[in-house]
Structure 1
């Protein structure tokens, strides 16, 4: 398996090593480990694993409508691929992902991810509401995932993109809400 396989799985299945929407912090810790940064605020919790960032809220109804008082559950998470270009420290990719998928490169061409998603039987469509001058947004069929792709790597600069930075067509992130 490869990092592209991981990204395609997230885009199609909406989960990371078995943890996804509605899962509590304990399920995410079981999947990705205990090494993370917890950022609480306004009754919410953002858990940052480097490549993967999860958002939790309290007392959210579960999949079957039951309230889980006193518990937190995931209401959204993102795979922040853009971080790999500028932070290549060993802690950026959680060890369970490295063991399962191998090396994670700092750049992922959208066409590679599109092919992998199509191979899993899904389609990808441009989401014009989420698209801007510098970022394309794509929706994966039958999934809560959105794939963000660099449209203009230097939207506010002189038009000379950094050759070591992001390029047009790089996947920026995959967000599941």
Structure 2
């Protein structure tokens, strides 16, 4: 699987390695291992695997974010996901990802708006949002307008 294929799959299924909203902490550890940054605050828990983060409350996943922008910095990729990232990618072209998502005709994207230098798109009839860089690149910036920033999956829109 390619990086674009992996990200497209996340966008249309709302899952990473078979886990997503509604999954337990144990499900996530089983799918991706326990080598991650754990940030706990009361009943809230964030599991940061580098390229992907899971937000949990009372042991149940409420959100998943694929931090695609981290690829330009050589982010850590969990072993369970390394096949998708066998060819190291830098910035991800939103237009290439959109073409992959919409290729089968079952899914489409709608623009939700622009804010603070980013555009957001929703995969129609889902709780998946794609955030795309929309600001001009400054000197030394590794991302440019049209590059994917992140994919966010939540239990609500």
TM-score by length of 2: 0.91
C-alpha deviations, 1:100-149, integer Å up to 9, x for none? 55234121000010001002420001012xx2140000000122110000
SS in 2 for 1:162: coil
SS in 2 for 1:47: strand
| Structure 2 equivalent of residue 24 of structure 1 | 24
SS in 2 for 1:78: strand
Which runs of 5 or more residues in structure 2 are unaligned? none
Select the structure of larger CA radius of gyration.
1
The reply to whether residue 48 of structure 1 matches residue 35 of structure 2 is: no
SS in 1 for 2:115: coil
| Structure 2 equivalent of residue 146 of structure 1 | 129
Which runs of 5 or more residues in structure 1 are unaligned? 59-71, 155-160
Contact (CA 8 Å) 1:110, 1:171: kept in 2 or not?
yes
Q: C-alpha separation between the residues in 2 aligned to 1:30 and 1:146?
A: 26
Contact (CA 8 Å) 2:3, 2:84: kept in 1 or not?
no
After TM superposition, which residue ranges in structure 1, 4 or more long, deviate above 2 angstroms?
99-104
C-alpha RMSD of matched pairs (Å): 1.5
SS in 2 for 1:126: strand
The correspondence for 1:125, drawn from 100, 110, 131, is 110
Aligned length: 153
Contact (CA 8 Å) 1:153, 1:166: kept in 2 or not?
no
Q: C-alpha separation between the residues in 2 aligned to 1:27 and 1:8?
A: 22
